Structure 1
């Protein structure tokens, strides 16, 4: 069943990893002055990047972290140790450069942009903030759907469009993150549906 033109087109554009580039990257790793496989996961990631870029030694010149912020109606059920007004406070912390992701991004030489995809508060303008509100938070999934199908599609399209914009602006590598009090509850619910697992397996202690 088609979802939307943009989403369907994007899915079709996703190509398999370049096996030739990965083989060349793996061979290069084995020629370096180190024990075979000694860098563990880092070696695996470098080989995967070679497959994505289609080059044995891809050059990553510009990196961008995209943070999407939004609130979750399920916080009304007491699923978080923190109140919902922490969400806009954390967004302002991101924009002010005071959060852990700012430190990590600076260390990695990555830019940060923040999307207000549904914070249940009005945020002041900022050069690194983009307002793409789908709503002022979602509805409570404990009593009904968190959002409509149309809103869910809109969220996916916002993500695709943002990624395309950053790539067009020269980004070679994108990292995604999210902020929203109560976010691990819908994450666990979605994971349970996608992989068919009981929520007792996909749900941890969270902040509580």
Structure 2
């Protein structure tokens, strides 16, 4: 598949089905509006799935992993080898995402989009390595335009195949990659035009000196690379990451498959932002799972025009926020499908 083919395959959610969903929600045996944002989510799901009886029980999270050359600038509290070590922990089922996904009944697949280390072929990982980590964005572009497009297609094809061939109906996106809040900050700075210092958080917990260095590194990356905000692939190639490309592709793949996708926090939302700048109607299929503690995240979901489902003070990544929010998106689907209307239940509607 080519990127243009993927983009052309994305259709808006069906507004007629969304309105039918609202009609059903307003007719259910409860006070109108009494389930608040769950009703908004349920109506959106109806429009995405073209159904009043969606089944979102088959849930799958793709945790995209990749390394970043910019780690050599000292922008992270952890060394780069932690990326591969954490991928191993995901495979073993020890990590935060493993536990929270299991809790909500979601499967997890880890994708090696560009980990710097050679991962064992025996690990239960989707081996889709585009390169062994990106180049240092403070010195030049992260990757070539062709590599950025390949990364997008990796994410899209994995989601589309899982929806088509395995019956998954609700997707989540998560990330793993030491130093990946730095390219994510560069992406939101490029798209928003806001000062870098207003968008830069502390990632894995860096101190004041490292934070100042991180701001300088992002500013330098933007100065050196001059990403074009009107060309999302250019932004991704110049200041992004291999796993961020995969995250963008996952959103586009879900939109092409007409299934909902829940993005995680700062890094996953950076990928979602790239996707929705490429194909604005992809946003019709997107939920933002939670409000990350990363300061630039609010600007990201503001640019998307979407409100996060949860605010738990989280800033981990991996797909942890997506896992928790997926359970609420699934619940919204059940609200639409399973709560009887007054007519179905034989209950008198007083119009309350």
Q: TM-score, normalised by structure 1?
A: 0.90
Query: Contact 1:95–1:126 (CA<8 Å) still a contact in 2?
Result: no
1:19 and 1:82, CA in 2 relative to 1: closer, same or farther beyond 3 A?
same
C-alpha deviation, 1:104, in angstroms? 2.1
Gap change, CA 1:36 and 1:198, over 3 Å in 2: farther
| Pairing 1:25–2:21 present | yes
1:40 and 1:126 map into 2 onto residues whose CA distance is 46
Cα distance in 2 between the residues matched to 1:77 and 1:109:
39
1:119 matched to 2:122? no
Per mean C-alpha deviation after superposition, the further-off stretch among 53-62 and 170-179 is 53-62
Corresponding position of 1:7: 3
Q: Mean Cα displacement is larger for which, 192-201 or 102-111?
A: 192-201
2:36 aligns with: 40
TM-score by length of 2: 0.55
| Correspondence for 1:146 among 138, 142, 146 | 142
Tell me the CA shift for residue 24 of structure 1.
2.1
> Secondary structure at 1:117's aligned position in 2?
strand
1:128 aligns to 2:124 (yes or no): yes
User: 1: CA distance between counterparts of 2:31 and 2:75?
Assistant: 47
User: Structure 1 CA distance, aligned partners of 2:33 and 2:90?
Assistant: 36
Q: Aligned partners of 2:33 and 2:123: how far apart in 1?
A: 43
Match of 1:86 among 76, 79, 82: 82
When the two chains are superposed, the root-mean-square deviation of aligned CA atoms in Å is: 1.8
CA deviation profile, 1:121-176 (whole Å, cap 9, x unmatched): 11123463011111111111111111111111111111111112211221111111
Which whole-Å CA distance do the structure 2 matches of 1:14 and 1:162 have between them?
Answer: 16
Matched residue count: 204
Shift of 1:65: 0.8
Within the candidate set 50, 53, 78, 2:49 is matched to 53
Distance 1:9 1:46 in 2: 30
Aligned to 1:197: 194
Whole-angstrom CA distance in 1 between matches of 2:87 and 2:36:
34
Extract unaligned runs of 5+ from structure 2. Answer: 207-352
1:171 equivalenced with 2:168 (yes/no): yes
Q: More helix by proportion, 1 or 2?
A: 2
In 1, Cα distance between equivalents of 2:94 and 2:87: 10
| Equivalent residues of 1:117, 1:131 under 8 A apart | yes
Greater alpha carbon shift after TM alignment, 17-26 vs 145-154: 17-26
